[in-house]
Each structure stands twice: as C-alpha cells, then as structure tokens.
Amino acid sequence: MIENQSDNIDITENDVSSQDNPPEDTSTSKDQTLENDELSPKKSEKINTEELKNTISNNDARLEQLEKEHETLKNQYVRISADFDNFRKRQSRDQDDLKAQLVSKSLTAILPIVDNFERARQQLKPEGEEAQALHRSYQGLYKQLVEVLKQQGVAPMRVVGQPFDPNLHEAVLREPSDEYKEDIILEELQRGYHLDGKVLRHALVKVSMGPGKQNSQEEAEKDKVEDNIESEGNTSEDV
C-alpha cells in the first residue's frame, strides 16, 4: 500500500511539473520560417536584376568598342582601296606612256627612210622598161612602208599655206612674199608627222615675211638713191 501511494505521489508531481512548464508556442517559429521564405526570392530577384544590369552595361560598352573598331577598320579599308586604285591607274598610265615613248622612238627612227624614199621619187625619172620596172618595185616598197606607218597611227602634216605654229612647225627660213601674208608657210622643207594626234616630228618650213617688208626695203633703197642724187645735184650747183 505504501509503495502504491508513493507511485501516485510521483505521478502527481510529474503532472504538476508538466503544468508548470507548458509546451513552447510553435506558431512563432512557423511565422519566422514563412517570412524568411518570402524574403529569400525577393533578395535573389534583386541580385539577379543587378547582375543583369551589369551584364547589359558591359555588353553596351563592348558593343560601342566593337563599333569603333569596325569604323576604324572600315576607314582603313577605304583608304587602302583608294590607294590601290590610284596605284593601279598610275601603273597603267605609266605603262601606256612607256609604250608610247617606245613606239614614238621606233617610228622616229624610220622617218628618215621615208624621207629618202620621197626624195628619190622626186629625183628619179625612169627611162626604159627596166628602169620603169625598178621604179614600180620601189614605189611598191614605199607604199608598203607608208601603210605600216598608217596602221601605227602616223599621219603626215599638211603645212603649205597654213599659219605658222611653233607647236607644230620649225621655221628654218623666212622670205618676203607677194602671194602670202606674214607668218604663212611658203614651203615644206621636211615633212612633219602626227602620232595619234600628238606631234611625232615637227615640220621644217619656210615662212613668209609678207609683201610689206619687201616693199619697204625697196622704198628705203629708192629713197636712199634719190637722196644721193639730190645731194650730188646740190653739190654741182654750188660749184
């Protein structure tokens, strides 16, 4: 009996102690957990937004740098392309000039042969069948040579009766003329030639001084003679 009573006393004391220490309130911890759960996505979203802004800012800066580099490379390409185009044109022009110089030099060396053919044609007067056959052969060679010159763009100048032009002609002689005015070409002493519109060889010409100078010289000589006659007459009268 005594043991049972002591057990009951212990149980009673345990019940009292359990009443004195009530269980902790779990609602507070739950609220705190919920608040932390709500704050965590907001904080994560804020971090992601900042990272995104930084990324966009870096991309904009990178894009601006790439645009500057692109513009620089584009300008370099345009400049190099223009320089190459100018170089190509200059090379082509130099080649054309060199070719023209070589052709001009070669044709100029042939022109004296043409001059000799023309002189021979003017001086020779073939007599007899054999001489005429030789003359025809010679004329055939001359025509062939002239045709080759024409194919190369060579054309003779026509100067007689034309005004003297120092860019085309070279005056060797000047003489008075009643037929032509001053600075008109009287005679062609050596034929000049054009090559594609440019002067290949200047023409050697005789140029008119005009009729006035000859008459003035004659009048001056006549006046001089008359003065001499008058002076002689005055001298005789004085005597």
What are 4-44's pLDDT values in tens digits? 444 444 544 444 344 444 444 444 555 555 455 555 565 66
Q: What is the pLDDT of residue 191?
A: 92
In the sheet that holds 154-156, the strands lie side by side as 154-156, 193-195, 198-201
Domain boundary among 152, 168, 201: 152
Q: How far is CA 33 from CA 27, 37, 38, 229, in A?
A: 10, 6, 9, 154
In a domain, 126, yes or no: yes
In a domain, 177, yes or no: yes
Domain of residue 144, residue span: 78-152
- pLDDT above 90 (res 192): yes
In a domain, 11, yes or no: no
CATH number of the domain that residue 166 is part of: 2.30.22.10
Domain boundary among 119, 152, 185: 152
What's the pTM value of the predicted model, to 2 decimals?
0.54
* pLDDT range class, residue 178, cuts 50, 70, 90: confident
In a domain, 60, yes or no: no
Q: What is the pLDDT of residue 3?
A: 43
CA dist., res. 76 & res. 53, Å (int): 35
Name the token pair of 123. Answer: 């001086």
Q: Which helix (H) or strand (E) holds 11?
A: helix 2-20
Within this chain, do residues 162 and 227 fall inside the same structural domain, yes or no? yes
Q: What is the 8-class DSSP label of residue 42? A: H
Domain boundary among 152, 185, 217: 152
Domain count, the chain: 2
| Residue 163: HSE in the Cβ half-sphere, 13 Å Cα cutoff | 2
Within this chain, do residues 227 and 160 fall inside the same structural domain, yes or no? yes
CA dist., res. 30 & res. 28, Å (int): 5
* pLDDT range class, residue 208, cuts 50, 70, 90: very high
Within this chain, do residues 171 and 140 fall inside the same structural domain, yes or no? no
Residue from 205, 219, 216, 213 nearest 177 by CA: 213
